[in-house]
């Protein structure tokens, strides 16, 4: 009998890639998405016997026993994402991230399903110690800076999942995503790589926020999606938190240079202060680099795609008229 898997945010950037991984291994998949930022076209080729789509808010859908109670695995990817969305509507983001996660966890417990919660490198806040390890202290700025509200909500999500795993035996895994990038990602909500790619393709100067010397570690969505079912399928991973991403940092200016080289753009770069984009007092962590020791020991994780391959695929997909960009993973750089 096929595994019955549910993906919240299933028509989004990461969700649509994960759906392909699960279908390839033979799962019956239910994709739940309210299409606020996801696109049905991202998964249109998958729909049919064995893959259903439900247009609905994840929280409301998972309250329905007819939807949730048949699940064997639940991948909770639905969340408010992107710095622009976070700074524009922190209250809505807090409700969506915390309350919906609670509903999903309770649905998984009710169904006896295992559940993966997608968290974020944002939970580290501005922790200055690198590389960032799962058991490190979290360092946030003041509550007067809405910038930190996203990381705080994700930390609460993790506490909820880990508490239920400890108290009730829920088979829960938490993954902290680090700058996930790849085909079907778009820059609408401030995602740096698709924004750079689109500017270069359009022969417009690439706009770099800050001085460009901040570093991030970019990981291909196809590597991320492949790792998720492996983590959830290992009983030894249940009740634990894992960094998931690449540990190879790159400056944002070097990223822009790579995009310019790969596209052949001669439009160049320009630098814009953070304050001009996000308002006065905006803070951004100078560096983000994960320690991958835990996930390597757990599942032998090693990214297959290097950043140049990923960028080439993103450039190709944005240049093709039939390419369909979608909801982006969080990427505050």
Task: Give the Cα separation of 116 and 329 in Å (integer).
Answer: 16
Task: Give the Cα separation of 186 and 197 in Å (integer).
Answer: 10
**Residue 326 backbone dihedrals phi, psi, to 5 degrees:** -150, -170
Contact assessment for residue 58 and residue 32, using Cβ atoms and an 8 Å cutoff: yes
Task: Give the Cα separation of 173 and 161 in Å (integer).
Answer: 8
Q: How many CB atoms lie within 10 A of CB 102?
A: 15
Task: Give the Cα separation of 84 and 315 in Å (integer).
Answer: 23
Return the active site residues: 150
- Sign of the Cα torsion 18, 24, 27, 33 reads positive
Helix, strand or coil for residue 248? coil
* Continuous H helices in the chain: 13-24, 58-63, 65-68, 83-88, 90-94, 100-111, 149-168, 192-201, 221-232, 252-263, 274-278, 293-299, 307-319
The CA R_g of the chain, rounded to the nearest whole Å, is 19
Task: Give the Cα separation of 100 and 258 in Å (integer).
Answer: 38
> Residue 239: CB partners within 8 Å, gap ≥ 6?
162, 165, 166, 172, 173
- Beta bridge partners, 33, equal 55
What tokens does 172 get?
Answer: 């829960």
């Amino acid at each position: 009998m096929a595994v019955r898997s549910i993906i919240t945010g299933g028509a989004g950037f990461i969700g649509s890639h994960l759906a392909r991984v699960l279908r390839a291994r033979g799962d019956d998949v239910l994709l739940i998405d309210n299409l606020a930022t996801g696109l049905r076209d991202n998964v249109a080729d998958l729909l049919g016997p064995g893959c259903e789509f439900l247009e609905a808010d994840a929280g409301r859908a998972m309250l329905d026993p007819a939807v949730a109670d048949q699940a064997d695995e639940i991948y909770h990817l639905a969340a408010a994402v992107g710095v622009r969305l976070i700074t524009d509507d922190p209250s809505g983001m807090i409700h969506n991230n915390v309350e919906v996660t609670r509903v999903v966890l309770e649905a998984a417990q009710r169904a006896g399903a295992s559940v993966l919660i997608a968290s974020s490198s944002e939970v580290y806040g501005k922790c200055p110690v690198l590389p960032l390890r799962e058991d490190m202290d979290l360092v946030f700025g003041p509550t007067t800076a809405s910038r930190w509200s996203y990381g705080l909500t994700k930390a609460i999500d993790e506490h909820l999942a880990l508490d239920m795993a400890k108290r009730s035996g829920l088979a829960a895994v938490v993954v902290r995503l680090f700058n996930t990038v790849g085909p079907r990602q778009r820059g609408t909500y401030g995602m740096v790589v698709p924004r750079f790619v689109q500017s270069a393709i359009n022969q417009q100067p690439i706009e770099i926020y800050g001085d460009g010397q901040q570093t991030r570690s970019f990981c291909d969505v196809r590597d991320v999606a492949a790792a998720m079912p492996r983590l959830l399928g290992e009983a030894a991973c249940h009740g634990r938190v894992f960094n998931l991403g690449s540990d190879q940092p790159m400056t944002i200016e070097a990223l822009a240079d790579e995009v310019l080289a790969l596209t052949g753009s001669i439009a160049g770069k320009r630098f814009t202060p953070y304050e001009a984009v996000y308002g006065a007092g905006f803070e951004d962590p100078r560096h983000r680099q994960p320690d991958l020791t835990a996930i390597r020991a757990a599942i032998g994780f090693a990214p297959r795609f290097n950043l140049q391959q990923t960028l080439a695929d993103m450039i190709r997909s944005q240049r093709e008229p039939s390419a369909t960009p979608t909801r982006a993973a969080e990427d505050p750089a």
